[in-house]
Amino acid sequence: MEYLVWIGAAVSILGLLGLVQSIRKVAKARKTATSDEELRALVQKVLPLNLGSLGLSVLGLMIVIVGISLG
């Protein structure tokens, strides 16, 4: 079941890359936003990416745990 560990690690890394992307987008939004409402709107657009990436990371870690448990 070693392949599950590697698959899970790859999925977790994809999730981590998504989290880094969402951090970059929010940092850019903080620099460019002129009002609080505009910043909230930009952050709300990034929220699905953030939550999806977090879920992908958790899923990858669960796959790693299953691979270790079965191996």
**Segment 57-66, tens digit of pLDDT:** 999 999 999 9
Confidence of residue 39 (pLDDT cuts 50, 70, 90): very high
Angle among Cα 58, 9, 3 to the nearest 5 degrees reads 120
Q: Whole-model pTM above 0.85?
A: yes
Contact by Cβ (8 Å): 21, 53: yes
